Every structure is written in structure tokens, then in C-alpha cells.
Chains A and B, each alone.
Chain A
Amino acid sequence: MRRKERKLLFDYLPVFLILLSILLSIYFMVPKVQEIIENSIIKNAIVPSVSKGLDKIILQIEKDASRVGLKELFKNKKFTSWLEDKISIFINDDVKYAYILYFDKDGKIRYLADFSKEDRARYWQTFNAFDSAIEKVLKEKKAVVIKQSDYTGIWLTLIKPIKIDNQVKGAFVIDFSINKLQEIQSILNRIKEFILAVSVFILLSIFVSVYQFIRYKKNLKKMYIDPLTQVYNRLFMYDNMDLLKKNYYTTFIIDIDFFKRINDTYGHDVGDYVLKEVAERLKRCIREDEDILVRYGGEEFLLFIKSNPHSEEYRYNIVQLANRLRTEVSKNVITYNNIKMKVTISIGVALCRENTDIDQMIKLADMALYRAKQNGRNRVEVYDKGLEANDKGIAIIKEAIDKNGIVCWFQPIYNLKTGKAVRYESLVRIVAEDGKLIYPHQFLNAIRRTYVHVDLTKKVIEFNIRTLLDNPKMRISMNLSALDIYNDDIIDYLDFLIINKKLASRLTIEILESEDIEDYEFFKEKIMRIKEIGCSIGIDDFGAGYSNFAHIVELNPEFLKIDGSLIKDIDINKRSIAIVKAIKHFADELGINVIAEYIHSEYILRKVLEVGITYGQGYYLKEPLPLRKRKSA
């Protein structure tokens, strides 16, 4: 990810550099542009405006002077008066001084006539200024235009030679006022100011953009990092799917074994510390710049390892890494406030596959993780062909959902004292296209945490509601997992289908007690929602998980259904009898009914009755059947 950020910044860098170079170019070009504009104005506007008129006058002077001599010509008042009239035509406000100079034999320069409005010189007055331009005119015998220094108050001087017998005897000099230049400079300054303002605006924009970019990066980091473990969160994963697609990644799902037990035993502070420590230990085994560690769920981590699937040792290396991760977490106990905990992890691995999206890879890894847990935890399982069969099973389930192949069979729950069925537990079955029945244990694991599971649950809800509508006296008990209850989509659907409270009162939701209940407060909110709909709550498989009795009480269930594993050997296992009795006692104290499931023999039935349990179900009493068959039976 760091590499990605660097790359992003690197992508922006040329834009900043181009903008900066444009600004620098503008900055350096302005004086040059100013000079070009000034020269253009001089060449095309200022000089031509007087030059043509001046040329005609100079021709006349040269003509007359060739007869009487230049010095003598200007003694003639009539001539100078005529000259002044002529010159006044083209002398405008831009002209500050206009005068005629005479170069005598001694090299002295004197005024012959001066038509200036101010500083007017007298005839024959010495012109002793330091003006190298005059020397240039004498030498080159051509008109010269020179720019004057600012302090002179003159912008330009135009010097046109007056030639007699091809000798430069004098010069007509026009000094242009600096006012014109100041006007031009004022316009150019405005342009310069405008460019400056634009440049400042662009610069500010760049600064603001860079600032926003940095802030965005900081926020992005906050947004994408799980505050507890300091690893990436789910959002990061979803927002960076493209990055994951571009490269080969091997997907790991890592689950902390018995984490719920840690939380329940030692409290959330300890649980949080364990999560942090496990994340830290996992990070030690991976490459910071290459691999991506994501906190996927409560105690679940997703790990994407950048891999080369074409390498001969690919599978071997991945399994080695997974075992290294497992060992790294478990080799040292985690100590928090003198509490020492031996923490282990289970890892499911999905190896790189062509044309498989990330979601699918996660599902495959999840299936492998599930098998790792089933096989005793603290182990690594790689998704393989055996699991692939399950994967194919998903397709069959999808098809069944699409083609209404989802059915529910019903097993009665009896009042063992009266022998009357008080409700029916709804049990899902899939009818495959070939007519074969598929039982839950054959497909539920494969579709866990998939949309197929959600769709299946919705179909089951539909089926049960329809059955309740068709059978107004029937009461149904339907199983939902904690994940189903967390899913608003499913609960909204239930709410939508239940048309009235009376119908709702005939439906009980049996919650499968499991480790998926991470946050009881949140879970309780969801249960309250179901109760508001009007359904009652039952706890299924009670005694099999890691029940916190206090939490169970808070859910205020209508009944507890004792797990089948305890009932099935109640006849031979004293421990089972003791647990069942304890549950019964606990339930009686709280006024909760107890149901014994898995009653598969008369002896078991007798034992159940001995313990004082009133309600029961099982193959001995009645097997699950489709409703049609049950009615006829």
C-alpha cells in the first residue's frame, strides 16, 4: 500500500512540475515580452508617426541649405517660422523636445533651432551633452533611434541626419516623452499583475491541492486502518479490489481459536489485547510492502500474500508460510495483567486461481478454514478438490433456490405428559433436479457467509409463513443462525411477510447458539426487533456452545432446547445427566420451558421424563416429514 501511495504521489508530480515550469516561464518571459511589445510599438507606431513628416522637412532643409549653407539658413527668420509651422503639424504630446543641431568644423555641436515646448535653446547655443548616439549618426550617416535612461525623462531619441553634399552637417532630433512609455508600462504592469495574480492563484491552488491531498491521505489512512489492531479494515479491501485483481495473491483467512471463550472469561479488554498481539505476530511474518493484512471480522483476519503461482514451489511455500504464521502466534503465551493465555489460530488458504474474483477466493479460503476448525483447530487447511465438491454443491443449491427446490419438513415437539404436539420444528431440505433430497449438513457449511445462504434463508422464511397461513392452528419453530439475525435484509423480509401479530405469535425463531454472536448488546437489539414483529425466541442446541447464562437470560427466550449430544447419551453418561439437570434447574428458576431433542428410544424418553423435562422431540416420537405426509399420517 505504501508503494501505491508513493505511486499516486509520483503520478501527481509531473503535473506539479509542469505547472511550476509554466509559472517560471511566465515569470521569466514577462520582461522579455515587455521588451518585444515596447520595440514593436517603437518600430510600428512611435517612430513612423513622425518619421515621414520629418523626412519631407529634412529634404526641404537640405535643398535650401545647399544654396545658402545650413548655418545661414537658420538665421533666416522667415524660414524658421515656416519650419515651425510645418513641424507643429506632426509634433504631438508624445514628443517632448524637437530641435535641429549643427556640427561645426571644430567638432562642436550647436542648436540651430529648437521647437520644444520647454527647455528651449537659443540659436547657436552649445549642445555639450554626453550623447554617443550623435557620434553614431555622424559616422553612419543614417537615422538612429536610441532608448534613453529613465532619469532623463526621455523615452526615445530619434536622430535624423541632415546631409549637404553627402556630408552630415546637422541633425534633426526628436526626444519622445517618457509619459508614453509609462502608459505602455502601466498597461504591461496590469498584464503582469494579472499574470502574477493568476500565478499566485495557481500556486495557491497547488498548495491547497497538496494540503488537501495530504489531509486526504491522512484521513484515508484513518479510514482504512482498524484502530485496534492497526491493520487494514474491510473498507480498504473493498476499495482496493483493483489492486488485488492486478496481482496474484494467495488468500488466507485466519481465525483465533476459541476467541469468544477468551472474551467471555477475561473480558473485552483482554480480548482486544489478544487481537492486537495476534495482529502484531502475524505482521512479523509478512512483507510490509507486498502483502496485505486485513481485519475481516471480530477475530478473523484476511491475509493476501503476493505470490508467483507459476513457481514450482508455490504450494509448498504457501503452506510453509501458513504454518509459520500459526507457530508464530502459538509459540509464546500472551500475557496481559498476569493472565497468561495460550492462543492458537486456524488458517484456511485459497491458492491463486485464474479467473476467480476476490469474493470467491475468500469463500474458498473460508471453506478451508471451516474444515480446519472441524478438524480440531490450530491447523492449516488449503482449499482442495475435496472442498471443491462442496463448491459444486453451491451451484446445485443456487439452482434449487431458483427453481423452488427448497422445502421444509416438520418434526413435532410434544408435551411429553399429555402426548400432544405443541409446535413443529421446521427443517430445511433441498430437492435436487434429479429428485434426490439434500440434507442441511450436506450444504450449510459450503454456503456459510455467502449470498446463497441469505437467499436460502429467505426461501425458508417464505415456506414457513405460507405454511402458517395455510394451517391456522399450527405453530412453527424455525432455525436462524446468528449471522441471519445480524442480517437486516433477512429480518426486514420476515417483517414484510408477517401480515399480523396473530400470525407472528405462531412463529418461534430458534437461535443457534454459536461463536458468531460477537457483541451481545448488538445481538440483543436484533432479537428485540424480532420480538417487536411478534415472534417468540427459543435457544437451540443449548449446552453445546459456550453459553453465557447471563446473556441467555437477557434474551428472555420462550424455551431452551437442550443440545442433542447431551440427550443422546443421557442413558449412559452421568456427566450428561448432570448437565441436563443443571439446565433444567436453571430454566425452572427463570420460568423458561425446556425441550429435549434427539429422543431416539423409549429409554431416553423415560430418562428425560425422570429429569422432569416436559417437552421433547426425536425420531422415537416422530421423524420429520413433509407437511402433506404428516397430515395423511
Chain B
Amino acid sequence: MLRQVTIFLLICFSVAFSEEAVKKIESMIISRISSVVTGKQYRIKTYATDNMKYIFKYSKILIPSYECDKADIVIAGEQLKNKDCEKKVMIVTKYYLLRNYKNAVAAFYWYKGRPNILFIKERLERFGINLPEKYKKYTDSEKDL
């Protein structure tokens, strides 16, 4: 019995630990992309979909905004409920959202178990965003989506 409880706790702990670690890394990357997109180094007002709220827990520069129009950026991990939010500069965390939302300038998503970063060249230009050199290799054309 003791052995079973111990194994169960170990599994829970290791799962929790790995999930937390992944979320922390995701938050850091999204914060970095947000900074690149908004040009702000701190206090970036961010509207996040419900499934992305966890990023505020780990990010030091993203501040939660509950209204899209007051936000500097929208982070979407699922379909937006508010159509007005689609007008804002967006970062998405699913590849299909990149195709759905024309204002999604960047994406950070898991694909085949690997983290992917993608910036959409035409959309960045539309919002007048200049990418630092080191991110340029992650840009792609809207037509290749």
C-alpha cells in the first residue's frame, strides 16, 4: 500500500513539475515575442484567452488586460469570443489560429512535440513591426501558411 501511494505521489510530482516547467518556458518565450512585436520592454498590457491566463503567473513584463481595446496585444490559445479582439495585434499559440486570424503576426506553438516560432512577414509589415535580425530566420510569408 505504502509503495503504491509513494509511486502515485512520485508520478504526480514529476508530471506537475514537468508541466510547470513547460508553462514557465512558454511564458518566457511568449513574453519575449510580445516585447519584439510591441516594442515594449515591460508593462505590456495583454489580453489573453482563458487557456493562456497562466502566462501572467510566470511573465514579468506582461500585465493582464481584461478589455481588448485597452490591451497592447492579444494572446490567443483558442477561438476568441470577442470579435473586437481580432482587430488587435495578436500572437497565437496554435498553427490553425495563425491562418484564421489575419492580425496574428506571430505564433508560438507545439508541433510534433517541438516548440515552433513563426513570424508572418506581410502582417509584421502591415503593423510596421521591424524584427531584430536574430528572429528573421523565423519569418515566413502569409501565402505559405
- Residues of chain A whose beta carbon lies under 8 Å from any beta carbon of chain B: 96-97, 99, 107-108, 110, 116, 119, 121, 124-131, 148, 150-154, 175
Contact of B138 with A148 in the complex, beta carbons under 8 Å: no
Known contacts A108-B140, A129-B111: A151-B116 contact under CB 8 Å: no
Residues 11 to 33 of chain B near chain A (Cβ within 8 Å): 18, 21-22
Q: Does B118 belong to the interface (CB within 8 Å)?
A: yes
Contact of B22 with A129 in the complex, beta carbons under 8 Å: no
CB distance from A82 to the nearest CB of B (A): 24
Known contacts A119-B112, A121-B111, A148-B113: A128-B138 contact under CB 8 Å: yes
Residues of B within 8 A of A127 (CB): 116
Query: Which 5 A-B pairs give the minimum distances between C-beta atoms?
Result: A152-B113, A129-B114, A154-B113, A128-B116, A153-B113
Contact of A126 with B115 in the complex, beta carbons under 8 Å: no
Contact of A129 with B138 in the complex, beta carbons under 8 Å: no
Residues 101 to 117 of chain B near chain A (Cβ within 8 Å): 111-117
Q: For residue B138, which residue of chain A has the nearest CB?
A: A128
Complex CA–CA separation, A97 to B114 (angstroms) = 12
Complex CA–CA separation, A108 to B144 (angstroms) = 12
Contact of B144 with A124 in the complex, beta carbons under 8 Å: yes
Contact of A126 with B137 in the complex, beta carbons under 8 Å: no
Complex CA–CA separation, A96 to B112 (angstroms) = 9
Complex CA–CA separation, A119 to B114 (angstroms) = 11
Looking at A126, A131, A153, A175, which has the most chain B CB atoms within 10 Å of its CB?
A: A126
Contact of A151 with B22 in the complex, beta carbons under 8 Å: yes
CB distance from A305 to the nearest CB of B (A): 58
Known contacts A124-B144, A126-B140: A175-B118 contact under CB 8 Å: no
Contact of B137 with A130 in the complex, beta carbons under 8 Å: no
CB distance from B43 to the nearest CB of A (A): 28
Complex CA–CA separation, A121 to B137 (angstroms) = 20
Contact of A130 with B114 in the complex, beta carbons under 8 Å: yes
CB distance from B72 to the nearest CB of A (A): 24
Contact of B114 with A152 in the complex, beta carbons under 8 Å: yes
In the assembled complex, 28 residue pairs joining A and B whose CB atoms fall closer than 8 Å, in A order, are A96-B112, A97-B113, A107-B137, A108-B137, A108-B140, A110-B144, A119-B111, A119-B112, A121-B112, A126-B118, A126-B144, A128-B116, A128-B117, A128-B118, A128-B138, A129-B114, A129-B115, A129-B116, A130-B115, A131-B114, A148-B113, A151-B18, A151-B22, A152-B113, A152-B114, A154-B112, A175-B112, A175-B113
Complex CA–CA separation, A37 to B111 (angstroms) = 30
Looking at A96, A99, A124, A151, which has the most chain B CB atoms within 10 Å of its CB?
A: A151
Q: For residue B140, which residue of chain A has the nearest CB?
A: A126
- For the A-B complex with A124-B144, A131-B114 known, give 15 more contacts whose Cβ atoms are closer than 8 Å: A97-B112, A97-B113, A108-B137, A110-B144, A119-B112, A125-B145, A126-B118, A128-B116, A128-B117, A130-B114, A130-B115, A151-B21, A152-B113, A152-B114, A153-B113
CB distance from B35 to the nearest CB of A (A): 19
CB distance from A220 to the nearest CB of B (A): 37
CB distance from A106 to the nearest CB of B (A): 9
CB distance from B77 to the nearest CB of A (A): 17
Residues of A within 8 A of B137 (CB): 107-108
CB distance from A570 to the nearest CB of B (A): 91
Q: For residue B119, which residue of chain A has the nearest CB?
A: A128
Residues of B within 8 A of A148 (CB): 113
Residues 122 to 142 of chain B near chain A (Cβ within 8 Å): 137-138, 140
Complex CA–CA separation, A153 to B145 (angstroms) = 25
Residues of B within 8 A of A108 (CB): 137, 140
Contact of A116 with B138 in the complex, beta carbons under 8 Å: no
Complex CA–CA separation, A127 to B22 (angstroms) = 20
CB distance from B67 to the nearest CB of A (A): 32
Complex CA–CA separation, A156 to B111 (angstroms) = 16
Q: For residue A119, which residue of chain B has the nearest CB?
A: B112
Complex CA–CA separation, A110 to B145 (angstroms) = 11
CB distance from B30 to the nearest CB of A (A): 15
Complex CA–CA separation, A422 to B5 (angstroms) = 94
Residues of B within 8 A of A130 (CB): 114-115
Q: For residue A97, which residue of chain B has the nearest CB?
A: B112
Complex CA–CA separation, A148 to B110 (angstroms) = 14
Residues of B within 8 A of A150 (CB): 18
CB distance from B104 to the nearest CB of A (A): 14
CB distance from A61 to the nearest CB of B (A): 20
Q: For residue A129, which residue of chain B has the nearest CB?
A: B114
CB distance from A380 to the nearest CB of B (A): 69
Complex CA–CA separation, A148 to B115 (angstroms) = 12
Residues of B within 8 A of A152 (CB): 113-114
Q: For residue B137, which residue of chain A has the nearest CB?
A: A107
Residues of A within 8 A of B116 (CB): 126-129
CB distance from B120 to the nearest CB of A (A): 10
CB distance from A116 to the nearest CB of B (A): 7
Complex CA–CA separation, A151 to B115 (angstroms) = 10
Complex CA–CA separation, A6 to B44 (angstroms) = 74
Residues of A within 8 A of B114 (CB): 129-131, 152
Q: For residue A99, which residue of chain B has the nearest CB?
A: B112
CB distance from B106 to the nearest CB of A (A): 11
Residues of B within 8 A of A153 (CB): 113
Residues of B within 8 A of A97 (CB): 112-113
Complex CA–CA separation, A99 to B113 (angstroms) = 14
Complex CA–CA separation, A510 to B18 (angstroms) = 97
Complex CA–CA separation, A403 to B137 (angstroms) = 119
Complex CA–CA separation, A322 to B64 (angstroms) = 99
Complex CA–CA separation, A131 to B115 (angstroms) = 9
CB distance from A364 to the nearest CB of B (A): 66
Complex CA–CA separation, A154 to B111 (angstroms) = 12
Q: For residue A148, which residue of chain B has the nearest CB?
A: B113
Complex CA–CA separation, A108 to B137 (angstroms) = 7
Partner of A129, one of B21, B112, B140, B145: B112
Complex CA–CA separation, A120 to B113 (angstroms) = 12
Complex CA–CA separation, A131 to B113 (angstroms) = 11
Q: For residue B25, which residue of chain A has the nearest CB?
A: A151
Complex CA–CA separation, A290 to B26 (angstroms) = 76
CB distance from B26 to the nearest CB of A (A): 11
